[in-house]
A and B are shown apart, each in its own frame.
Chain A
Amino acid sequence: MILDNPDQLIVNLVQQGLDLLSGFPIVVLVLCLLLSTVPLIAIFPACFAITTWLERKGLARIQNRIGPNRAGWFGLLQPVADGIKMLLKEDIVPRAGDQLTHFLAPVLLLVPAFTVLAVLPFSRNMTPAAADTGVILFFAIGSVSTLPVFLAGWSSHNKYSLLGGMRAIAQMVSYEIPLVLSTVTVVMLTGSLNTVRIVEAQQVSSWVLGDNAALQILGQVLKWNVFTPWGFIGFLIFFVASLAEVNRCPFDLPEADSEIVAGHLTEYSGFKYALFFMAEYISAFAISGLAVTLFLGGWSGPNIRPWWSDDPQALLIPGFVWFFLKMFALILAMIWIRGTLPRLRVDHLMGFAWKFLMPLALLNIFVAGAYYYLPRWIGWPAGFVVLYVCYEWLGRINRGSLGPKRTYRYA
């Protein structure tokens, strides 16, 4: 019965469909290629549209405004209206700029943004490219995205654009280091770079395969990496660094609108601008998806086996539901932070990456190593204590002096 395992419903349906066509290997090959790419290209832009609406609504409510409410029910058609507007706008290219690179930059930025999605495990057996080098592939392809941002800044032949581009490079290169170092702990304790293996390692398989429903739920939650000391700090470092990596507030210096107009986006209009915007959001999805995979248990969530099923692997709620729920929770946290924190200064930004996040991530690796060898009942509290002390200590030595207390004569 195909309904035995709701979790694998789509996978099984696709498998049966492909089995029907097994006489035509070329068709099957093409279909496999399309099935692993088209859903990504269809679903994530749709998520992007929903997120722009969510972001505008959320930010508006945070500032006690109403937000878009004209296009469609509760303004839900606003993304469509924005898209049409962007398509119809004039595409302006600066005459002194570099025509070819000005055109190439948004396209080149979109390619890595979409490609990295392929290594994310959306559910069991639903990883477009279950590569053995998954995590490193993610960072390798992700690191390409600095180049188009620079090219956009340079090709516009505009001071603000160039400043934004240079800021973007400096920021992305610096924050990649804590980002990678915080994932090292997960890779170390899982013993694999494969994203599927990393998710499977965050489940207590004996409990999940057992008969007790409560244990099935707990077995898919308790072993998430975020509940360990190194995982908790690692997740925090990863999240903060990923905010900087995708140029979100409070690290949106490359496109700081109050200082340098819009940074590397200044000279872009129409659909090229929309492409930049989309690439930014899709890389935000990708990096949140990686955070979910590495620290928040990927597709596993409070889930039980359907009562009518005999398959021990079967799950009631499909795994991708949990994956997307967690991913959107992180995106909402990003929006919340955007509505709260003001932008950093450039020197603070660099200092935060190099003097605070990087040493903390390095210490975290040592703690993770010790945690692996110590018994859990020592390692767990001791890890938290050590990391908390390090956190406070690093904060203290980075605080700097406020200078002499100012007095205002006329105020």
Chain B
Amino acid sequence: MNAAFLILSLLAVAGALLAIRLHNLVHATLSLMFFFVALAGLFVLLMAEFIAAVQILVYVGAVGILILFAIMLTPHVTGENHGRLCSRGWIWGLAGAGAVFLILIAPVLLMAGLDTPPATAALSPSVREIGLVLMTPYGIALLVMALLLTAALVGAVVAASPPARDKDEPKP
């Protein structure tokens, strides 16, 4: 097995596990970042260089920082004095996750008997080709995506802004 794949996948699994098990939220976010970076490495292994760059740009640069901001904006969240880590009935959650894992892994294990097509010859798509495909056949999807992002931007601002103060209420 490829050493790079092994290291990156171990990093990814460790990062994901720590991200959901750590008490300290900032540590959890940090290990989530390691998970994202390891996944970007896997994307590079799969010759999706551009997606790897986008992954780092969007997840590490934006989503991760956003999570940190949310953690910082809600006080009493960083502390470790939370008592219980898991919710009541966590055992059912564990069982559900395990069941989903079994369902996901079953076809893979069954497929192991079949002969899989070997990976086609290396082809690293240039950004220009991706851009051309993105602009012509998937142009509408791109526009819809732009709309979605705008809507999300407006929605996030509306949802996160504090409720409007009543006009009769005297100003503090």
Direct contact of A and B (CB under 8 A): yes
Contact B53 A144 (CB under 8 A): no
**In the assembled complex, which residues on chain A have CB atoms less than 8 Å from the CB atom of B49?**
131-133
Contact B57 A147 (CB under 8 A): no
Contact B26 A192 (CB under 8 A): no
A140–B24 alpha-carbon span in the complex (Å): 27
Chain B 100-123 residues near chain A, CB threshold 8 A:
none
The count of chain B contact residues (Cβ–Cβ below 8 Å) is 25
**In the assembled complex, which residues on chain A have CB atoms less than 8 Å from the CB atom of B72?**
166
Measured between C-beta atoms, what is the minimum distance from B58 to chain A in Å? 9
What is the predominant secondary structure among interface residues of chain A facing chain B? helix
Contact B61 A151 (CB under 8 A): no
Contact B57 A139 (CB under 8 A): yes
Q: Which residue of B lies closest to A100 (CB)?
A: B27
Produce 1/0 per residue, A90-101, CB < 8 A to B.
Answer: 000000001011
Contact of A101 among B27, B53, B124, B126 (CB under 8 A): B27
Contact B64 A132 (CB under 8 A): no
Contact A193 B127 (CB under 8 A): yes
Q: Which residue of B lies closest to A194 (CB)?
A: B127
Contact A140 B54 (CB under 8 A): yes
**B12 part of interface (Cβ distance < 8 Å):** no
Chain B 38-75 residues near chain A, CB threshold 8 A:
49-50, 53-54, 56-57, 60-62, 64-65, 68-69, 72
Contact A133 B64 (CB under 8 A): no
**In the assembled complex, which residues on chain A have CB atoms less than 8 Å from the CB atom of B65?**
146-147, 150, 169, 173
Produce 1/0 per residue, A142-177, CB < 8 A to B.
Answer: 011011001100100000000000100100010010
Contact B68 A169 (CB under 8 A): yes
**In the assembled complex, which residues on chain A have CB atoms less than 8 Å from the CB atom of B64?**
147
**Size class of A's contact patch?**
20 to 34
Contact B69 A141 (CB under 8 A): no
**A274 part of interface (Cβ distance < 8 Å):** no
**In the assembled complex, which residues on chain A have CB atoms less than 8 Å from the CB atom of B57?**
136, 139-140, 143
**In the assembled complex, which residues on chain B have CB atoms less than 8 Å from the CB atom of A136?**
50, 53-54, 57, 127
**B19 part of interface (Cβ distance < 8 Å):** no
Contact A144 B68 (CB under 8 A): no
Contact B61 A140 (CB under 8 A): yes
Q: Which residue of B lies closest to A146 (CB)?
A: B65
Chain B 1-60 residues near chain A, CB threshold 8 A:
24, 26-27, 30, 33, 37, 49-50, 53-54, 56-57, 60
**In the assembled complex, which residues on chain B have CB atoms less than 8 Å from the CB atom of A395?**
none
**A86 part of interface (Cβ distance < 8 Å):** no
**In the assembled complex, which residues on chain A have CB atoms less than 8 Å from the CB atom of B37?**
144
Q: Which residue of B lies closest to A151 (CB)?
A: B30
**B84 part of interface (Cβ distance < 8 Å):** no
A169–B53 alpha-carbon span in the complex (Å): 20
Measured between C-beta atoms, what is the minimum distance from B10 to chain A in Å? 19
Contact A132 B26 (CB under 8 A): no
Contact B69 A169 (CB under 8 A): yes
**In the assembled complex, which residues on chain B have CB atoms less than 8 Å from the CB atom of A192?**
127-128
A144–B40 alpha-carbon span in the complex (Å): 13
Q: Which residue of B lies closest to A191 (CB)?
A: B128
Measured between C-beta atoms, what is the minimum distance from B71 to chain A in Å? 9
Chain A 120-147 residues near chain B, CB threshold 8 A:
131-133, 136-137, 139-141, 143-144, 146-147
**In the assembled complex, which residues on chain A have CB atoms less than 8 Å from the CB atom of B53?**
133, 136-137, 140
A112–B27 alpha-carbon span in the complex (Å): 20
Contact of B61 among A133, A144, A150 (CB under 8 A): A144
Contact A140 B30 (CB under 8 A): no
**In the assembled complex, which residues on chain A have CB atoms less than 8 Å from the CB atom of B124?**
132
Produce 1/0 per residue, A74-106, CB < 8 A to B.
Answer: 000000000000000000000000101100100
Contact A147 B50 (CB under 8 A): no
Measured between C-beta atoms, what is the minimum distance from A115 to chain B in Å? 11
Contact A143 B56 (CB under 8 A): yes
Q: Can you report 29 A-B residue pairs in the complex whose CB atoms are below 8 A from each other?
A: A98-B24, A98-B26, A98-B27, A101-B27, A104-B30, A132-B49, A132-B50, A132-B127, A133-B49, A133-B50, A133-B53, A133-B127, A136-B53, A136-B57, A136-B127, A139-B57, A140-B57, A143-B62, A144-B37, A146-B61, A146-B65, A147-B30, A147-B33, A150-B68, A151-B26, A154-B78, A169-B68, A176-B61, A191-B128
List 4 other contacts, CB 8 Å, given A98-B27, A140-B53, A151-B26: A132-B49, A140-B60, A143-B56, A144-B60
